[in-house]
Amino acid sequence: MFAQFDFDVIARSWVYLFQVGMAFTLELTLLAMLGGVALGTLLALGRMSRHRPLALAAAGYVNLVRAVPLVLVIFWFYFLVPYVAAWVIGAEEPVKVGTFWSALITFTLFQAAYYCEIMRGGIQAIPRGQVLAAQALGLGYGRTMWHIVLPQAFRNMLPVLLTQTIVLFQDVSLVYVLSVPDFVGAASKVAQRDGRLVEMYTFVAVVYFALCCLLSWAARQLQRRVAIIR
C-alpha cells in the first residue's frame, strides 16, 4: 500500500493547506468559540432565571439545538440567513451574506447550546454562601454575577470549555459541504486535482489527530492546575 503512497504531493501542498485551509479553520473556530461562550453564558443565566418564561425559552432553545444534526443546521442557515437579513433591512432580494458569515452564525448559535450547559454547571457549582455574602454587602444581581460568580465559573469550567472547543474544531470541517476552503476543503481540492485522495485525506487525518491530541493534553494540564488552585 505505502509503496505507491505519494509523499511528494503532500510536500508540494502542505504550505497551501495550512496558509489557506487551516488558517480558515482556526479563524472560524476561534470566533465561533468566543461568540458561543458569550451567548452560552447568557443562555445559562436565562435558564437559571426566576422568570419562568425566560427560563423556558432558554431551555427550549438549548434542547432544540442539541436535538438537531449540525450538518442540517449548516444547510438551514446557509439558505435562511440571506432571507432573514433581507427581511431585517427591508430589501426585496436576499442579501449575499457569504459562506464565512453564514458558517460563523451557524456554529456560534449551535455551540452556544453546549457552552450554556457547561457554564450553567460552573455557575451552580459556586457555593450559595458567596452569593448571599455579596447580597449582604449590597451588591446587586448583575455585579454579583460579573465580579464574583462568573470569574470563578469560568476558571473552574475552563478545561471543559477547552474540551468543547476541540469538538468545535473538529465540527468546523463540516463546512466542506458548502464548498468552503477550510482545511478539509482545501485538501479535497488538491486531492481531486492530482488524483491523490488517499494521500491527502491521510494527511488531513494525521494533522487533526496531532492537533487534537495536543489540545487534549493542554486541557488535562489545565485541569490539574485548576484542581490545585481549588
Give a yes or no: residue 206 inside a domain.
Answer: no
The better pLDDT of the pair 211, 76 is held by 211
228 — pLDDT class (breaks 50, 70, 90): very low
The residue-averaged pLDDT of 82-89 equals: 82
User: Could you list the residue range(s) of the whole structural domain that residue 92 is in?
Assistant: 21-180
Give a yes or no: residue 186 inside a domain.
Answer: no
DSSP for 160-227, please give it.
Answer: HHHHHHHHHHHHGGGGGGGT--SHHHHHHHHHHHHT-HHHHHHHHHHHHHHHHHHHHHHHHHHHHHHH
Q: By mean pLDDT, which of 60-69, 90-99, 172-181 is the weakest?
A: 90-99
Give the span between the Cα atoms of 138 and 134, in whole angstroms. 7
Per the structure, the count of domains in the chain is 1
pTM to 2 decimal places: 0.86
Q: What is the DSSP letter of 5?
A: -
DSSP for 73-87, please give it.
Answer: HHHHHHHHHHHHHHH
We report the CATH number of the domain holding residue 87 as 1.10.3720.10
Give the pLDDT confidence score for residue 55 in this predicted structure: 92
213 — pLDDT class (breaks 50, 70, 90): very high
Contacts of 163 (CB under 8 A, 6+ apart): 216, 219
Give a yes or no: residue 78 inside a domain.
Answer: yes
Give a yes or no: residue 160 inside a domain.
Answer: yes
Give a yes or no: residue 197 inside a domain.
Answer: no
pLDDT tens digits, residue range 30-51? Answer: 999 999 999 999 999 999 888 8
Give a yes or no: residue 36 inside a domain.
Answer: yes
pLDDT tens digits, residue range 54-80? Answer: 999 999 999 999 999 998 888 888 888
Give a yes or no: residue 37 inside a domain.
Answer: yes
Give a yes or no: residue 73 inside a domain.
Answer: yes
Give the pLDDT confidence score for residue 227 in this predicted structure: 59
